[in-house]
Amino acid sequence: MISPNNQIVFENVSKFYGEILGVNRVNLSLPPGVTSLVGPNGSGKTTLMNLMTGLVQPTQGKVSVLGLTPDQPEELFRYIGYCAQFDSFPKGVTGYEFINSFLRLRGLSSQDANRLTWEAIERVGMTEAARRKVAGYSKGMRQRMRLAQALAHHPTVLVLDEPLNGLDPMARSESIALFEALGKQGMHVIVSSHVLHEVDKISDQVVLMSFGYVVAEGQISGVRSEVKEHPMQILVRCSRPSMLASRLFAQDHVVEAKLHTDGAGLLVRTHDADSFYKLLSQIVQDKEDDFKLEAVAPADDDVNSVYQYLIGSGGGTV
């Protein structure tokens, strides 16, 4: 049994920004390993991360990280490294100064800070550019430097808000490998992303968010099958709906296909949006069918379509 002090715990946490909902009634208990927070824009990922790191305070409820709360900054922030979503730096610093000055702030001696600074810079492959001003870095370089800053003091909880943004494919796969390795070492690595497939392979658990609510949570396989159990409605507007319907009935993931009342569309209910989208694109490419597709969209705005949006690689459009 893992002791509760090893976890990041949200107890009935709500955060309102005035009238605006940030997150609502979140109950979570995150063990070590890689955790992905996944959700569309404005779903509350950053809010959850800011709550974890004390940058915002809950309107209601309690947050604790490894048994510590943000009221104990001298303790808590030794264990936390947070690479925020915001791409900003103190003015006029070089990459080296940026990391070094905040290490000194931790009370480290100048030698220790120097050693840890170079270690972090090497780790993200920024040694050459370290003495240059941050203002002259590319987006990806700034992202890496901020990652280095979050890592430099060897935190046990690493919180990364959209860390893959702006990285080239090479740096992307290197970062993913780094997160996975850190998670395997027993660290908490919390990563946020808009789409699950970006991070699903390395995630030990996922938290799906929508409109400020946690809509699903747990190990990736569990969340996937939970989603599969809920069929999803998709509205297809096209030139030959009845032809499409006949093709669809041959598929066992399709539960229902209904002609739209105006005759120019088909309402489809399916367990597997991915396969459905694949089939649809095959039909479209197949010239013989003389099939014209006008629009495809999730027909209901409920949690299911959000699941599908998050889980499916098509993202709701073909």
Partner 1 sequence: MSVPAQKPVTQQAVNTRPVQLWVAQILAILRIELKKNLMKKRNIWIYLLAFGPVVVIALHVLLGSSDPGGLSEDTNILADIFQLFYLRLAIFFGCMILFTWLYRGEVVEKSLHYYFLAPVRREILIIGKFLAGAITATFIFGLAFFCCFGLMYAHYGRAGMAFVFSGPGLGQLFAYLGVTALACLGYGSVFLALSLIIKNPILPGAAVLLWETFHAVLPSLLQKFSVMFYLKQLCPVSLLPDDGLSLFIVITEPVSPWLAVPGLLCLCAAILIFACFRIRRTEISYLAD
Ligand X SMILES: Nc1ncnc2c1ncn2[C@@H]1O[C@H](COP(=O)(O)OP(=O)(O)OP(=O)(O)O)[C@@H](O)[C@H]1O
Closest approach of ligand X to the CB of residue 192, in Å: 7
Contact pattern for ligand X over residues 193 through 222, marking x by CB under 6 A = -x----------------------------
Q: Please choose which of partner 1, Mg ion, ligand X, none residue 298 contacts, taking the beta carbon within 5 to 8 angstroms, the exact cut-off set by kind.
A: none
Kindly report the CA angle at 87 between 202 and 146, in degrees rounded to 5? 55
Judged by beta carbon, residue 185 or residue 239, the one nearer partner 1 is 185
Task: Find, among 187, 206, 189, 210, the residue nearest to 43 by Cα.
Answer: 210
Does residue 185 bind partner 1 (CB under 8 A)? Answer: yes
Q: Tell me whether residue 205 is exposed, middle or buried, using C-beta atoms within 10 angstroms of its C-beta: 0 to 12, 13 to 18, 19 or more.
A: middle
Closest approach of Mg ion to the CB of residue 161, in Å: 6
Left (φ > 0), alpha (ψ -120 to 50) or beta: where does 200 sit? alpha
Q: Figure out which of the listed residues 17, 27, 230, 242 binds ligand X, where binding follows CB under 6 A.
A: 17
133 Cβ contact list (under 8 Å, min separation 6)? 92, 93, 94
With tokens 């209601």, the residue in question is 60
Contact pattern for Mg ion over residues 76 through 115, marking x by CB under 5 A = ---------x------------------------------
Q: Figure out which of the listed residues 24, 35, 36, 46 binds Mg ion, where binding follows CB under 5 A.
A: 46
112 Cβ contact list (under 8 Å, min separation 6)? 103
5 Cβ contact list (under 8 Å, min separation 6)? 66, 67
Does residue 41 bind ligand X (CB under 6 A)? Answer: yes
List interacting residues with ligand X (CB under 6 A): 17, 20, 22, 39, 41-47, 85, 194
List interacting residues with partner 1 (CB under 8 A): 17, 46, 50, 53-57, 73-80, 82, 84-86, 88-92, 101-102, 104-109, 112, 116, 119, 122-125, 149, 153-156, 174-175, 177-178, 181-182, 185, 187
